[in-house]
Structure 1
Amino acid sequence: MVSVSSIKQRLRRDYFRWQHKRAVRAVLKTPALSVGDLPFTLLSMVQKRDVLSYLVALKSFTTFANPARVVVVCDPSIDAKDRDVLRQHVPHIELRKAGEFVHPEIPRGGCWERLLAICSYAAESYVIQLDADTVTVRSPGEVLDAISRQSGFVLGEEAAQTLITLTTTSNNAKADTWGQTHIQGYSEACMAEVGLPPGSMYVRGCAGFTGFPPSTTMLTQLLDFSSRMSGKIGAVRWSSWGTEQVASNYLVANALGTQLLPYPKYGTPDVMNEDATFVHFIGSLRFVNDTYEKTSRTVIQRMSGPGYRPGLSS
């Protein structure tokens, strides 16, 4: 039986989702993005329902860090109308089909196409993966520094977090029995046992905002990692939602100079404070209140102001 509490909670989420949807339509009145000059590729995977949110994420970020290339890996739900909207606001955008990024040794779906696209573009440039449910509130100095140094970065889950060895990764996961009920925890518990290269590292980060330095070996690393993990836990389980984030965490942890972005300066809305620079509105926290709507309205108003010039790189 559905409880009164769960009904109220659902109604609240529906209301805040509706308010946000109404608010982000204003992004369509903001100026088109100009081609940037910073040496990186900004890549996202976008589905139809997130096109306007993506434009907010993209334009709020590129206000401070405007790349030479913008790439969208289009979910099959993206139609011709969506493509027209994206091209109108980003004339130089590169729209790629998700089906272009598949490999027989890699699962399909669950954002794996996005990770394969990152590997493809990283062969020739620095790549930043930006989720559509993010908002950049102020200049991300740490990210600009990482771009300048061409070193990796990743969103963390807590303050003072660091890269850790695979042994520590597995020990931590095995100590959390409840956590192993999720594919991420289960995969991490097995990670030290699959024969990955000695000295390999890992980070319990978030794939929603990640910087990958140029690498001609990244695809090889991904194929090796995926093959070993699939062989350990089974192809069906390795294809479940959440495994792409595990692989992304492994790749970025072993990339050149990777650092975790300071938390909660870069974090989720539940830890957002006056120093917030970048906010990731993950699903469980997206529409629990009006924070996503208000944050989106604030950056859209900034883009709509008379002194705003799209595509500033500093």
Structure 2
Amino acid sequence: MNLSNLVPWRFRGINPFLNTYGDKLLFGRIAKTASIETNPNAKTEIHSAVPHRYLYAYLFAIKSLLYYHSDVSVVIHDDGSLLDEDKRLIKIHLPNCRLIDRAFANAEFEKLNNPFLSKVRGSYTSYLKLFDTTLFNQSERIIILDTDTLFLKEPKEIIDWIINGGNPWYHMAPRGKMKVEKEFEIANYAKLQDVHIQTLIIDDLDDINKSLNKNYTIQQGFCSGFIGYDSGTINFSELEELFKLLYEKFGDKIFRWGAEQTTHGLILCSKGAVSLPLEDYFVFTHANAHLADNAKFLHFVGENRFHKLIYPKLSNVVLKKLKTPR
């Protein structure tokens, strides 16, 4: 027996520890910044699934974007772990936001009377980004933003899209292997996944497209932590058809980490989604850490998140901006 398996994942190093307990310690100073008014009737909504565990990081993420452009509607999806005090804090900092409680969302989704999609949605929290955004969106355009992100410079391409629309888009992870620590323990990953669902789907994509009469494709490196598309691009009829086939082919693997991102990728890439410039918008890794200062947007995921504590250091840069009126 590997003795390390007896130690809870959160205690296996500085990165797991900070991922589990570091949110308020590293990002709590965002609570000292002023609230930001947004527009609940805007043509673009920004949706995020937010857990208690990453509450302050989320406030950094959304405020770092709103600093540059706030004529948007902000929608927060409680993943089920937000406390009442968390919700009050969100409302203080984002007074015009729409905050959707998990219990309410569950009840509303059940009204679709689709037990299969309800099972898929409930299998892990990242699916809220896919299903609940589709259910609750009220705007012309949708942005999905993960909690572990930062905007360091004005994202002019994104602001133009928010105002004028255009093709769907996504940001990219660099080529090569990436370590991940979201929503599962690393020690169990190989046992649970065997082969990652995205690899299985890509390897079988020709047959999937033939069976569904579709032209699905996915760009290697597609990341769903920051994506934009028109309302109506994703619908439950297509999701049901796609997921039923994927379940028939791959079983319970569609209920595990990575399936939501792959599904977003299949649909958006098949509908003309374009990748944001990799030099400006990218997933942070050890290999590209030296480029972080020059980025417009960074997505901090997995074991890379707290590499050399660059993430909290850059959040200090954002904090100074937020405390200085534009």
TM-score relative to the length of structure 2: 0.78
SS in 2 for 1:128: strand
2:170 alignment counterpart: 154
1:238 to 254, 259, 264: 254
SS in 2 for 1:262: coil
1:30 and 2:42 aligned = no
1:165 alignment counterpart: none
1:105 alignment counterpart: 116
1:288 alignment counterpart: 307
Look up the equivalent residue of 2:116 and give its one-letter code. Answer: E
1:139 to 154, 158, 168: 154
SS in 2 for 1:201: coil
Residues 23 and 297, structure 1, Cα contact 8 Å, conserved in 2: no
2:141 to 104, 126, 144: 126
CA distance in 1, matches of 2:165, 2:279: 23
Residues 98 and 113, structure 1, Cα contact 8 Å, conserved in 2: no
Per-residue deviation, residues 26-58 of structure 1 (Å, max 9, x unmatched)? 110111011248520000001001110000000
2:318 alignment counterpart: 299
Look up the equivalent residue of 1:181 and give its one-letter code. Answer: V
Residues 137 and 299, structure 1, Cα contact 8 Å, conserved in 2: yes
2:264 alignment counterpart: 248
1:82 and 2:86 aligned = yes
Per-residue deviation, residues 220-247 of structure 1 (Å, max 9, x unmatched)? 222221122112212x222122111111
Residues 123 and 215, structure 1, Cα contact 8 Å, conserved in 2: no
Residues 20 and 292, structure 1, Cα contact 8 Å, conserved in 2: no
2:284 to 263, 269, 273: 269
CA distance in 1, matches of 2:235, 2:138: 8
**90-99 or 79-88, larger mean C-alpha shift:** 90-99
Change (3 A) 1:16 1:202: closer
1:191 and 2:191 aligned = no
2:183 alignment counterpart: none
Residues 127 and 260, structure 2, Cα contact 8 Å, conserved in 1: yes
Change (3 A) 1:14 1:250: closer
1:13 alignment counterpart: 15
2:47 to 43, 46, 54: 43
CA distance in 2, matches of 1:89, 1:241: 31
Residues 23 and 57, structure 2, Cα contact 8 Å, conserved in 1: no
1:200 to 209, 216, 222: 216
SS in 2 for 1:280: strand
1:279 and 2:293 aligned = no
Change (3 A) 1:139 1:70: same
SS in 2 for 1:290: helix
Higher relative contact order (CA 8 A, sep 6+): 1
Identity of aligned residues (%): 22
**218-227 or 290-299, larger mean C-alpha shift:** 218-227
Residues 47 and 143, structure 2, Cα contact 8 Å, conserved in 1: yes
Q: What is the number of equivalent residue pairs in this alignment?
A: 283
Change (3 A) 1:130 1:279: same
Per-residue deviation, residues 184-218 of structure 1 (Å, max 9, x unmatched)? 21222223212233433323311111102121762
Consecutive unaligned residues in structure 1, runs of 5 or more? 160-178, 309-314
Per-residue deviation, residues 52-75 of structure 1 (Å, max 9, x unmatched)? 000000000111232431111101
SS in 2 for 1:268: strand
1:163 alignment counterpart: none
Residues 222 and 251, structure 1, Cα contact 8 Å, conserved in 2: no
Look up the equivalent residue of 2:203 and give its one-letter code. Answer: A
TM-score relative to the length of structure 1: 0.81
CA distance in 1, matches of 2:42, 2:308: 35
Change (3 A) 1:217 1:73: closer
CA distance in 2, matches of 1:277, 1:117: 28
Change (3 A) 1:64 1:285: same
Cα distance, 1:121 vs structure 2: 4.2
